[in-house]
Amino acid sequence: MLLGSVSVCLNFIEEGRCHVNGRPCILGPRGATAKNEGHECELHGHFDVWIANGNMLVTDLGFPPEEPVQTVALGVNETVALQIASDKSRLMRIPLTTSKRRCIQCAGSYWVSEHIHSSGFTRRAFVSFCPDCLGRFDLSTVEGKLGKNRYWCG
């Protein structure tokens, strides 16, 4: 996001106040040059909160598949994202949903972003297996457990 010619944190707004909590930026004046990817601020993270498809959506997957109606928070940590979404969901009286997944092996919940980034077949398994279970199996076992989904390219 640009303010004039200065590159600013996605959560930092013109008056020097954080968009997330309305308080002065915890990084002070240098907050204007902070990048979310640098995670200098404790509020930074890879979670976004959107209003999309009649729901308050917390996601770690980037832009939602449905066209969002409103951006609520971008590039915040999980705790902040869930708190903001919970408060806004209650206030607006709309359901809160997340992109959190359930592992097909252990049934545990996990965020896709908990996986170490990779490409190809392993990346396709991210949407079905938690990091712990994916790390315990060899690729042929994972492929067998995914069945038809092993060809999913999304």
The answer on pLDDT for 130 being more than 60 is yes
In the chain, at which residue ranges do the beta strands (DSSP E only) sit?
A: 2-3, 6-7, 44-52, 55-59, 68-76, 96-98, 101-102, 109-110
Closest CA to 46 of 17, 73, 70: 73
Q: What is the pLDDT of residues 26-39, one digit of tens each?
A: 888 777 777 777 77
> What's the pLDDT at 118?
58
pLDDT band (50, 70, 90) for residue 123: low
Q: Measured in Å, how far apart are the chain's first and last C-alpha atoms?
A: 28
Mean pLDDT of the chain: 78
> What's the pLDDT at 110?
92
- pTM here is 0.73
